[in-house]
């Protein structure tokens, strides 16, 4: 349940609201790190919620692509393929760590 709630909250924050502080806001310096950490956290939440790894990765990668596409139409936001790559890096790093810890549900 935490996974779905966090996903809804992230969607709202990414699309319905302008970037905190505008395009050059507080998150701009470490933007890619923020993307990776947020999507790694979402990955772990999904895996803790007993979803299969493949399902979690598919949902989050599609979600990231949708968010980036929608942000092209939101004032003070831009679509950036590098954000999508950072999202994917966070997802894959978390899923590899999860598998390495022996908790995988492939």
Q: pLDDT tens digits for 38-95? A: 999 999 999 999 999 999 999 999 999 999 999 888 887 888 899 999 999 999 999 9
Task: Tell me, yes or no, whether 87 lies in a domain.
Answer: yes
- The whole-number pLDDT of residue 74 equals 84
Task: Tell me, yes or no, whether 45 lies in a domain.
Answer: no
Q: What share of the chain is helix, strand, coil (3-state, %, to 5)?
A: 70, 0, 30
CA distance 14 to 27: 12
Task: Tell me, yes or no, whether 106 lies in a domain.
Answer: yes
What CA–CA distances, in Å, run from 44 to 26, 40, 50, 70, 95?
A: 25, 6, 10, 25, 7
Domain count for the chain, please give it. 1
pTM comes to 0.84
Domain that includes residue 61, residue range: 50-106
């Amino acid at each position: 349940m935490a996974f779905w709630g966090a996903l809804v909250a992230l969607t709202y924050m990414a699309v319905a609201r302008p970037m905190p502080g505008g395009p050059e806001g507080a998150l701009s310096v470490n933007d890619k790190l923020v993307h990776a950490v947020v999507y790694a956290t979402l990955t772990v939440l999904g895996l803790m919620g007993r979803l299969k790894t493949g399902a979690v990765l598919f949902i989050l990668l599609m979600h990231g692509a949708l968010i980036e596409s929608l942000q092209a139409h939101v004032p003070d936001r831009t679509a950036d393929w590098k954000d999508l790559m950072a999202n994917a890096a966070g997802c894959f790093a978390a899923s590899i760590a999860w598998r390495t810890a022996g908790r995988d549900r492939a």
